[in-house]
Amino acid sequence: MRCFSLLFLIFVFSSFKTQINSSIQHNGVTRDFVYYTPSNWNSSDPLPLLVVMHGLTQTGNGIMNITGFNDIAEDNNFIVCYPDGVNNSFNANMNVTVSTADDLGFIESLYTYFETNFNSDPNKRYLCGFSTGGFMSHKLACESSFCFAAIATVSGNMSDTVYNNCSPSHPTSVLHIHGTSDPVVSYNGSATSGVSVDASIEKWRIHLGCNLSPQITPMPDNNIFDFSSPERHMYFGCSNSSLELIKINGGGHQWPGIPTLIGGLGNINMDFYSPELIWDFLNGKSCPESTHVSKSDMVEVNVFPNPTNNTVSFSVSDYSGSFNVNVFDLNGRLLKSLNDYSISLESFEKGVYLISLSFSNKTTMVKVIKQ
């Protein structure tokens, strides 16, 4: 009996030890979040990172408990993070807002934190959000210099401000899930919620270069008691990206497939489980790998000091000859080129940089932190 109890405690501990509450400082404010790493995670394996953002009045822990993304992360080997918004909201420049926080900078800092400390894959940054969190997902994809491989939103849209200023730097894939009877974020747009869903989709269609008209396919309508039915709008011909709309006829301000009594209004469509459909869409999407280097071509390089306040130096094992050094930001943009074993980062902003060192037919990549 004592042996069984001990084994049970070990099982419980191992089941929960990868879910952690943490925080970072951004703009002098402590920003909280909870994250989950799959049980077989190790720092040598650069896993995708999905950031899931809650709706107004909600929390990161709350949306974690509602959606079940932790189980999906465990089964599909990715990291998932649930940040808390200031005043239980995110500042997505919505027409009606309760937060003035720099949430764009906060979410960017969150990805940098995980890429620095958990070796998450900068080419596989994913965003998901419900309601206000969905608005924030569109804002980040429209305005951030970071490359987000794909976003998925539920009952969230573009504010008028984000819509008018949307000028994406990257071809982000977009999945938008929205009910036509949403009483909070109107499908057809309103003075409080911003532009219509169709206007947002058209904005993305033009940016991504997709074909004019989507392929519209009714999805299975197995639940006759949810007073709603989903249909899939798939756009083809998009440039290095995907665009989809799940239009839920009669659907409310809810997560499809999740029968929760709080956090939403209106009909809950029960014909599909939205978190699983979302991951199926996100999975495999990737930013351009302009800084990717094959491990088989690497040379062993020591970097010091790292982190650094100014200059970083390199020492190389078992190599002599010419070489080139290229410095990239996390979006793959080339910032500086030289051929020296020491490089000054004095003019660079604080953050994380990727430095490629090419030695004849061998190349290696190192990550350097500028403090």
More confident residue, 360 or 307: 307
Residues 140 and 257 placed together within one structural domain of the fold: yes
Evaluate whether residue 175 is within a structural domain. yes
Taking every pair of Cα atoms in the chain, the longest distance, rounded to a whole number of angstroms, is 73
Given 222, 254, 282, which residue is the final one in a domain? 282
What pLDDT, in 10s, does the model give residues 185-238?
999 999 999 999 999 999 999 999 999 999 999 999 999 899 999 999 999 999
Quote the pLDDT of residue 14.
Answer: 38
Evaluate whether residue 38 is within a structural domain. yes
More confident residue, 363 or 96: 96
Residues 315 and 255 placed together within one structural domain of the fold: no
Quote the pLDDT of residue 369.
Answer: 80
pLDDT band for 91, please (50, 70, 90 cuts).
very high
Q: Which pairs with CB-CB distance under 8 Å and at least 24 residues apart come from 337-342?
A: 341/313, 341/314, 341/315, 341/316, 342/311, 342/312, 342/313, 342/314
Mean pLDDT, residues 237-243 taken together: 93
Quote the pLDDT of residue 363.
Answer: 59
Mean pLDDT, residues 109-137 taken together: 94
Percent pLDDT > 90 in the chain is 64
Evaluate whether residue 161 is within a structural domain. yes
Given 282, 316, 331, which residue is the final one in a domain? 282
Domain count, the chain: 2
Residues 226 and 346 placed together within one structural domain of the fold: no
Instruction: Answer whether residue 12 shows pLDDT above 70.
Output: no
Mean pLDDT lowest for which of 87-101, 125-139, 144-158? Answer: 87-101
Mean pLDDT, residues 50-65 taken together: 96
pLDDT band for 13, please (50, 70, 90 cuts).
very low
Residues 16 and 136 placed together within one structural domain of the fold: yes
Evaluate whether residue 268 is within a structural domain. yes
Q: What is the domain range of residue 121?
A: 8-282
Cis peptide before 171 (omega within 30 of 0): no
Residues 351 and 244 placed together within one structural domain of the fold: no
Residues 40 and 175 placed together within one structural domain of the fold: yes
CATH of the domain at 237: 3.40.50.1820
Quote the pLDDT of residue 331.
Answer: 55
Instruction: Answer whether residue 33 shows pLDDT above 90.
Output: yes
Evaluate whether residue 321 is within a structural domain. yes
Residues 114 and 248 placed together within one structural domain of the fold: yes
Residues 252 and 144 placed together within one structural domain of the fold: yes
Residues 120 and 246 placed together within one structural domain of the fold: yes
pLDDT band for 283, please (50, 70, 90 cuts).
very high
Residues 207 and 75 placed together within one structural domain of the fold: yes
Instruction: Answer whether residue 50 shows pLDDT above 70.
Output: yes
Mean pLDDT, residues 258-278 taken together: 90
Evaluate whether residue 30 is within a structural domain. yes
What pLDDT, in 10s, does the model give residues 303-312?
788 788 888 8
Quote the pLDDT of residue 288.
Answer: 82
Quote the pLDDT of residue 333.
Answer: 67
Average pLDDT value over all residues in the chain:
86
Given 235, 250, 282, which residue is the final one in a domain? 282
Residues 263 and 134 placed together within one structural domain of the fold: yes
Which of 311-315, 345-349, 357-361 has maximum average pLDDT? Answer: 345-349
Residues 257 and 299 placed together within one structural domain of the fold: no
CATH of the domain at 342: 2.60.40.1930
Instruction: Answer whether residue 267 shows pLDDT above 80.
Output: yes
More confident residue, 246 or 41: 246
What pLDDT, in 10s, does the model give residues 134-169?
999 999 999 998 999 999 999 999 999 999 999 998
